[in-house]
A = this chain, B = another copy of it.
């Protein structure tokens, strides 16, 4: 049996030294990392033993360091690059240090670790409920799709081939026809819909699927762009074009409601331009969110087999018209006995949303999670001292925990004895837990405790003298959670609004985009001119917002009359 380091380099490039390096960052940058779990995969047995044996000494040094730095609070956050210094590295540091995800052994794949997965479960549970409330049912379609299904569409859309993973061998034999590992399911869904839909009585057909999908990409980033990702894909069929359009808008509004009221992301809902629309769609609608570096989180169109640069759905809804129905013969007999093509919609949200939440709310200290999504909404840290009997403190903590749990609050108690309270404070701050409760012996004597809110740093965010009496305590904490939820949304909205520039000329757009801001102005340019803007500025037309501001009516580029305002920006 080889040492541990021999185990991690099976696949080249190895997951711990592949350069782009959100896993190896710390190793390269050396010391200063005090977060609880280390990316030590590159160390051999001897080093492991040596490092472990040094721990007591290191802990002592660390303690001294903490003391010097006022409880060590700042000293412990060093593992995360400041956001303002390098946003991209800050993001990768947060993902790694908060144990949200790790690289998988195959380049571009991601292991979603429990804390990251718990955020995704929050997204799932909210959306799944909303889908069911709007009449949708979950189903599951096979992942392997005959390549010929995609080739059927070759006349209509660009080839998806550059991004496909192909199964060519199964059961020890070469397959007669290669199978595509699902990049999206329009083709197989329509293959089945064509069998299930016979009559107008079978419509509407409202289906959703939670699944994994693969798109072969080279430039990846955890959650934002990975070779494999998790998502939901809604697929519906309707009797009329109008019903399909209504459904497309309805589901975009479901996404908007989730983004704003659950994820606290102040998205802009709108329509995509023609060249940014899903290639198989008549029209694509989108929710666009501004990240902490002012880029838009791209929710751009994606032909299921288009040649466009890879992109992940953060929240788009497509009116497919009867395009797929015509390709797959998805027809029904109407009340008059005539065969008609169905009209369809499809819509999706993926694990990219987790990346969006990180990049919308995070700060220099790490994650900040909106309470409605946070896996842990409240952490209770008992302050136990060596010489003082902790029984009264623990009894109080257990009463508070039970009271919160009874009120439906997701609460965690960290009573571990191998870490100091200061270490724990930093840890849960980094992990974005909205509310921390501290209970020490003196607090218990006074019948009170201390709460600290994650969104307001330092003493300002603390409240002393919070009553231990369960009803009053629960009321205080739940109000605090609601307040934090609202504050995160408000902050993100203020940030967004402060970074949207109304432009009246191309020069103004160029200046705004160069500053990293969103540019908003009346637009009547052609597809070609839209592409030109992208080439010259790297900014894409994000959307024509549903809520149109007042405007001059003159296209900022062409000077022609414009009926609509569009938003341009750089995007993920």
Contact = CB atoms under 8 A, between A and B. Distances in A.
B181 A181 contact: yes
A275 interface: no
Interface stretch (A106-114, A235-243, A546-554): A106-114
Contacts of A246: none
Contacts of A148: 10-11
Q: For chain A, give the interface size range.
A: 35 or more
15 contacts: A4-B331, A10-B152, A41-B194, A48-B333, A49-B337, A52-B337, A102-B192, A105-B145, A111-B139, A111-B192, A120-B140, A143-B228, A163-B171, A165-B171, A168-B169
B105 A8 contact: no
Contact of A165 (B102, B164, B170, B211): B170
Interface string A100-131: 00101110011111100110110000000000
Contact of A117 (B104, B118, B140, B144): B140
B118 A138 contact: yes
B146 A230 contact: no
Interface in A157-192: 161-172, 177-179, 181, 188, 191-192
A497 interface: no
Provide the main secondary structure of the chain A interface. Answer: mixed
B329 A141 contact: no
Interface stretch (A198-206, A425-433, A512-520): A198-206
Nearest to A144: B106
Nearest to A141: B111
A326 interface: yes
Contact of A38 (B113, B198, B211): B198
A396 interface: no
Contact of A198 (B40, B163, B168): B40
A196 B216 CA distance: 27
B104 A142 contact: yes
A560 interface: no
A5 to B, nearest CB: 9
A325 to B, nearest CB: 10
Contacts of A113: 139
Contact of A140 (B37, B171, B177, B230): B230
